[in-house]
Structure 1
Amino acid sequence: MPTLRGLECFVAVLDHGSVTEAAARLHMSQPALSHQLAALEREIGAPVVERLPRGVRATPTGQAVAADARAALAAAESVVATGRAITSGTAGRLRIGCAASMTGSLLAPVLRTWRRRHPAVQLELDELTSADALADLVAAGRADLAIGPRPSTFDGHLDLIGEEQIVAVMAADSPAAAGGSRPMTFAQLAEQPVVHYHPENGLGGWLDGIAAGQGVTLNAVTRTRQTATAAQLAAAGLGVALVPTTALPATYSGAIRRLDPPLSRDIVTMTAAPSDPLVSRFGAEVRRRGIPVPRPIAAQLG
């Protein structure tokens, strides 16, 4: 297989009509350039240039392969240019997986800023409701980076974004809201109808485990796959929902109470190749933003 260096020497000799000039332009010695030409000719099985009293010219074989040699060099330059563009964030594609509850509050502001700074980078988003499903997405090579709760198992690279608080939400005029700003215990939760989660949402199983540890079984009166939907159903009076603060809009109409004991979970970025510059840069932007809590929500939590 001809080397790119050999093809580069061949094309330089054709362009300059001189081994001496070609070697100077490539910052090589003449013997080194001649060695590259000889290796190319051995690979092809015929001379590609012939030496004249003044300079050199292509042989019929050299003329026949010159166009392909130039195309090969152009392709190699394109590979390097594309790689540099992706590394600098001026081109490429970024496939992102995100927990559905975090798309609006955590990811959307980062995407907006990223799009403004890197308009040529194509962004693809996949929203899921399970941390383990997000980890599988990255592990299978279907996402370059995922954002969500810490998965139960993952062989890739994890970086902590921050902690996400879980709170109890309910209709503002419901008996459960009578506790005001006082934290809600799991014993109190056991007495309430609960807007719970579909088994496909990993938050549901995690909450059931926490409740069991407190000696409580949550009384699910309805189930949904989405945390934002659970919050709205609770505000409408269907029951109490346990939701992450990232799922709550700044203008949430229901009541919000902390939990006793406090409940939170780690939110991480998951990557298979943390050394990739484009992925690393985006992950750093997400971690720099952290876990946002709208001021009205923070005010209700005290």
Structure 2
Amino acid sequence: MPTLRALECLIAVLDAGSITDAAKALHMSQPALSHQLAALEREIGAPVLERLPRGVRATVIGRAVEADARAALAAATRVVDGGRAAARGAGGQLRLACAESLTASLLAPVLRHWLRRRPGVEVMLTEAASADDLVRHIESGTADLALGPRPTRWTGASELIGVEEVVAVLPADHPLSHRDRLGFEDLRDRPLVHYHPENGLAGWLDAQAAGHGVTLDPVMRTRQAATAAQLAAAGLGIALVPVSALGPGLPGTLKRLHPIVSRDLVCLIGAPADLLVRRFVSDVVDRGVPVHPSIRAKLTP
């Protein structure tokens, strides 16, 4: 297979019209350039240049390969330029996996600033229903970085984003709305807006309740934490919702749990040495767990 150097020599000769001028342009000796051309002609099996009394010109074979040779050199240049841009953090591709309940609140603001500063970076996003799904994306090589709750099994590199509290959402006229805090015992036999079994929150909250001797009683299930909060505020039951999923204008009442129920949000890092990954992790960690000011105010005694 011809080398890029041989193709570069051919194009330089065609552009310059002479071996002497092409050698000067490439900062190499004429014998070295002629050696590259000879190797190319042996590879092709036919002459690519016709030697004239003054200079050279392409043969029919030379003209036939010229366009592809130029394309190969241009592609090689793009490889180097793309690699250098990625090394500076200005280009490349970043493959993210994110817990679907955190895409809007945690990931979207970071992505907005990230892509404004680095428009040359292509971001590929996959959403996952559970922390274990995030692990599978990292282990299968389909994601460089995953954002979500701390999984039950993960031995690779990770960074803590922050600790996220889970609170109870209930309608303003609910019998428990006068309580300062709620415990799992308060949820016994009460209608609960719960999560779809494929959402990792469902199993995690069931385990938390079981630890207090309580079995949760779902009146309905949804995949999205923000939807659970709205349904609870509308009077369908109580919902246990991570604070990052709560937005402004929520009409219901918020109650902290006693004891406090919280979960770690982490970055699972599949490519710790990658510059883009390290920079993105830094931005996510610097932002921390998002809590809307109006929600924080509702939870402040």
Deviation larger for 159-168 or 51-60: 51-60
Please give the residue correspondences for 1:195-234 in structure 2 after superposition, counting only pairs within 5 Å. 195-234=193-232
When residues 67 and 247 of structure 1 are mapped into structure 2, their CA distance, relative to the original with a 3 A threshold, is closer
Distance across 1 between alignment mates of 2:261 and 2:208: 9
Secondary structure of the equivalent of 1:178?
A: coil
* Structure 1 contact 160–269 (Cα < 8 Å) conserved: yes
Alpha-carbon deviations, 1:219-278, whole Å to 9, x = none?
Answer: 333322221122122222333221100111133222222222222212123454344454
Distance across 2 between alignment mates of 1:280 and 1:236: 42
Distance across 2 between alignment mates of 1:261 and 1:220: 21
1:15 matched to which residue of 2? Answer: 15
Aligned residue type for 2:48: V
Please give the residue correspondences for 1:52-131 in structure 2 after superposition, counting only pairs within 5 Å. 54-84=54-84, 96-119=96-119, 125-131=125-131
When residues 66 and 201 of structure 1 are mapped into structure 2, their CA distance, relative to the original with a 3 A threshold, is closer
What is the Cα-based RMSD across aligned positions, in Å?
Answer: 3.1
When residues 2 and 239 of structure 1 are mapped into structure 2, their CA distance, relative to the original with a 3 A threshold, is same
Gaps of 5+ in 1: none
Offset, 1:285? 2.8
Aligned counterpart in structure 1 of residue 235 of structure 2, from 237, 247, 251: 237
* Structure 1 contact 14–57 (Cα < 8 Å) conserved: yes
Aligned residue type for 1:234: A
Offset, 1:202? 0.8
Aligned residue type for 1:132: D
When residues 297 and 28 of structure 1 are mapped into structure 2, their CA distance, relative to the original with a 3 A threshold, is same
When residues 50 and 268 of structure 1 are mapped into structure 2, their CA distance, relative to the original with a 3 A threshold, is same
Distance across 1 between alignment mates of 2:23 and 2:31: 9
1:161 matched to which residue of 2? Answer: 161
Aligned residue type for 1:295: P
Deviation larger for 164-173 or 46-55: 46-55
Taking every aligned residue pair, what percent have the same amino acid on both sides?
A: 61
Offset, 1:60? 4.8
State how many pairs are aligned. Answer: 300
Offset, 1:199? 0.9
Secondary structure of the equivalent of 1:264?
A: strand
When residues 206 and 19 of structure 1 are mapped into structure 2, their CA distance, relative to the original with a 3 A threshold, is same
Deviation larger for 117-126 or 31-40: 117-126
Aligned residue type for 1:212: A
* Structure 1 contact 166–243 (Cα < 8 Å) conserved: yes
Aligned counterpart in structure 1 of residue 286 of structure 2, from 267, 285, 288: 288
Deviation larger for 120-129 or 103-112: 120-129
When residues 64 and 238 of structure 1 are mapped into structure 2, their CA distance, relative to the original with a 3 A threshold, is closer
Please give the residue correspondences for 1:125-164 in structure 2 after superposition, counting only pairs within 5 Å. 125-140=125-140, 142-154=142-154, 157-164=157-164
Distance across 2 between alignment mates of 1:65 and 1:221: 71
Deviation larger for 288-297 or 16-25: 16-25
Q: Does 2:35 align with 1:35? A: yes
Offset, 1:50? 5.3
1:45 matched to which residue of 2? Answer: 45
Deviation larger for 118-127 or 26-35: 118-127
* Structure 1 contact 129–226 (Cα < 8 Å) conserved: no
2:263 matched to which residue of 1? Answer: 265
When residues 237 and 60 of structure 1 are mapped into structure 2, their CA distance, relative to the original with a 3 A threshold, is closer
Deviation larger for 7-16 or 138-147: 138-147
